[in-house]
Amino acid sequence: MPGRRRSAIPTPAVVSSRGGTRTVERGLSDRGNSRDNAVRRAVAPVIRDTVQDRVYAELGDALICGRLQPGQILTIRDLAEAFDTSVMPVREALRRLIAEKALEGLPQRSVRVPPMTPERLTDLRHTRLLIEGHAAELAAAHVDAPLLARLAAAEADYTAAAAAGDADRELLCNQQFHFALYEACGSPSLMAIIRSLWLQSGPYLRTAVEQHSKRHKASQRSMRGNFHNQIVAALRKRDVAAVRRALEADLSWAFDLLAQP
């Protein structure tokens, strides 16, 4: 007796749901719909997250390089127009920056760069000396020729930008120098904290750089790079204590200047 042909359509599956059961028909059309839904779920979030990450990165760079000034107010709508995007990715990026203390939330769908106050400057100074000093000490144990070359190149660009009075370039090269050093410590957790501190400090450092540039000639402005040279010299000697002292001097000059009446 010939065998019976099996149906091409699968039998219903029984799925448990809160103590009971319910029958789910899983036909061929359902499989197609499931694949379509899976694709939509996978693709759409990638697009949104990419825009949000770009907005976050651009705002972060603007804060670190001080293109946003202390006390400056930003509206979500104005930022969305500037980035040529919808308000949603801007809102999400701002939420991240508010959580990192780089911005303050305000009513009327707006945010503010925190104003510069003596209390805030003191807090940031102490925290940066503690965290970044520790990262520099750890990095001193991992010095190699490629790291020294990166630091030397960043320092040369920094000194040239300072002498030329190019604050944007100077602050960018300063970040490149310090982050190259800190990344050598091998601690992603420390790097996340340090980036948050730079987001908060950037607008104030820009103010210090501009004040210093107004008071000094080009030859004197380039002297700001001496701190970097001292850090590199200490790294070459693998003198951990000297690395930290030079780093603390480099971080402190701007706060000292801003504390002056």
- DSSP labels for 21-79? EEEE---HHHHHHHHHHHHHHHHHHHHHHHHHHHHHHHHHHHHHTT-S-TT-EEEHHHH
Residues of the chain with CATH 1.10.10.10: 41-112
Note down pLDDT in tens along the chain; length 261 residues. Answer: 544 444 444 444 444 444 444 444 455 455 556 555 554 454 444 455 688 999 999 999 999 999 999 999 999 999 999 999 999 999 999 999 999 999 999 988 899 999 999 999 999 999 999 999 999 999 999 999 999 999 999 999 998 888 888 889 999 999 999 999 999 999 999 999 999 999 999 999 999 988 877 775 555 555 666 899 999 999 999 999 999 999 999 999 999 989 987
Do the strands 104-106 and 13-17 form a parallel or antiparallel pair, or are they unpaired? unpaired
DSSP 151: H
The tokens of 175 are what? 């970040």
What's domain 41-112's architecture? Orthogonal Bundle (1.10)
pLDDT of 30 reads 57
Angle at 29 between CA 23 and CA 34, to 5 degrees: 80
Give the pTM. Answer: 0.78
Among 157, 164, 126, 163, which Cα is nearest to 251's?
Answer: 126
- The rounded distance, in Å, linking the Cα atoms of 69 and 219 is 27
CATH topology of domain 118-259: Four Helix Bundle (Hemerythrin (Met), subunit A) (1.20.120)
pLDDT of 27 reads 53
Using only C-alpha atoms, the chain has a radius of gyration, in whole angstroms, of 27
Residues of the chain with CATH 1.20.120.530: 118-259
